[in-house]
Amino acid sequence: MEWSDYMVMAARHSQNSARHWFRYLRKDIDKYGISFSKEQVEALCENEALTPFQRVSLRAAFEEGSLTRQHIISLNGRANLDMITSVRKRVENDLLK
């Protein structure tokens, strides 16, 4: 299956969920770069299977420095658990009182 075919399938599968669409995009975009040309991205954006939101977010995801791209790259990163650890300690302390 070629990349464009896979992304059309992903677009159809995630039409009603931005979160799901971004999860598909994060597989193709990371902090080390992308391996697709602008022509491939534009050709995919012309496909009728993509919703207007998917087209706009796809273009933004492949645009260096965009907030959409930064968000998608952050999905590949480790979770910051500092806040959860802090809450857990407070709950444990409250239970010990």
d(CA 87, CA 77): 22
Over residues 38-83, the pLDDT tens digits come to 888 888 899 999 999 999 999 999 888 899 999 988 888 777 788 8
User: 29 near 62, Cβ under 8 Å?
Assistant: yes
Q: What is the pLDDT of residue 55?
A: 93
d(CA 78, CA 83): 14
- Contacts (Cβ under 8 Å, ≥6 apart) of 43: 4
pTM for the whole thing? 0.72
d(CA 87, CA 95): 12
Domain extents in the chain = 3-96
Residue of 82 and 1 predicted with greater confidence: 82
Give mean pLDDT, residues 14-19. 91
- Token pair listed for 97: 């009182």
- Token pair listed for 71: 């968000």
d(CA 63, CA 57): 10
Nearest partner of 43 among 59, 57, 29, 27, judged by Cα: 59
